[in-house]
Chains A and B, each alone.
Chain A
Amino acid sequence: MSGLSALTGSNNYFEDFAVGRRMRHARSATVDEVENNYISKQVMNTAQTHWNEQYLAGSPLGDGRLVFGLVTGSVTVGLASQDTSENALCELGLDAVRFKGPLHHGDTITAYTEVLEAADSPDRDDAGIVRFKHWGRNQHGEVVCEAERLVLIKRRSHWAQR
């Protein structure tokens, strides 16, 4: 396949991630039947708090289905992905993943990012490693999850002409 670089953005290579840069990602997403109810079952999460509307009725956690924490986290990463990992070679890992408060069906997540570190890769000279901090807020502005994420990202110098 030729013209690889035409398929992805030109402002999100390794060189673009200066430490301290902050982003509020452009799109927000509402979490509902597909994102939580189905994905929780798809990944065989047997905890029915995520897919039984009656299970928590009247509980201190609030009525209705609670969103699986990793769905909240995956939506947050997804909303951040075009800006932060469209030119990634691979995801390396996550640290300091924290679920700060409950998210319910119908709530909407907006994702934010700060660049914490940018370093050479020990294994390859055509890419570098960026450590991002991501966080997601609900429609009331409350932080519902946060995580640090390590991504191996292409260098413009090696990939922009491919």
Chain B
Amino acid sequence: MFDHHWGRTITHGDNVLFSTAMCNWNPMYLNAEFARAHGHPDMVVNPMLVLCTVVGLSVEDLSEIGGPFLGMEEVRFHQPVYPGDTLTASSRVVEARESQTRPHTGIVTWHTKAHNQDRDLVVDYRRTNLVAKRRPPGA
């Protein structure tokens, strides 16, 4: 189990920069009046930014040692995030196995959850990476 470092308050600037840089010009993320007309208190934070931020918070604990990011399963956005909300993340290992093709690495799957400042679950997912072994065979 890992409680990841730092936490992150998502700002209007984060949301606008990310959404425009990613060509995701959706008015729900970039037009506050449009978002309010749909019952939101403010522009909605692009869920892909929420996902990128939560993965980012987890990298030092989980995957910075190296090995490709293979994929994700069961990513679920449980509720909207608004500018000013603060995200924190934690992960637990759900599977760790040997790589059949690369003896110097293993394949690890984590279940990560992120909550806002009110402890509401905002996103969870399973993520799988190749991870280097501390002592490779023959070392």
Which positions in A face B, CB cutoff 8 Å? 1, 4, 7-8, 27, 29, 34-35, 38-40, 42-47, 49, 68-71, 73-75, 77-79, 81-82, 85-86, 88-99, 102
Contact = CB atoms under 8 A, between A and B. Distances in A.
Contacts of B68: 69, 99, 102
A40 B22 CA distance: 12
Given A39-B52, A77-B24, A46 B75 contact: no
Given A82-B25, A93-B74, 15 more contacts: A42-B14, A44-B59, A46-B60, A47-B66, A70-B69, A71-B22, A74-B18, A78-B19, A78-B48, A81-B24, A85-B26, A91-B47, A94-B75, A95-B73, A98-B70
A92 B50 CA distance: 13
B23 A27 contact: yes
B69 A78 contact: no
Contact of B37 (A4, A39, A99): A4
Given A47-B63, A93-B76, A99-B70, A29 B23 contact: yes
Contacts of A92: 76-77
A160 B72 CA distance: 35
A79 B24 CA distance: 7
B2 to A, nearest CB: 14
Contact of B77 (A8, A43, A91): A91
B interface bracket (residues with beta carbon within 8 Å of A): 35 or more
A74 B70 contact: no
B133 interface: no
Given A29-B23, A74-B52, A99 B31 contact: no
A96 B73 contact: yes
A92 B79 CA distance: 9
B55 A34 contact: no
Contacts of B6: 44
Given A35-B22, A45-B55, A93 B77 contact: yes
Contacts of A68: 52, 69
Contacts of A47: 59, 63-64, 66
B36 A98 contact: no
Given A45-B55, A74-B48, A96-B73, A4 B34 contact: yes
Contacts of A81: 23-26
A96 B26 contact: no
Nearest to B54: A43
Contact of A77 (B22, B25, B59, B73): B22
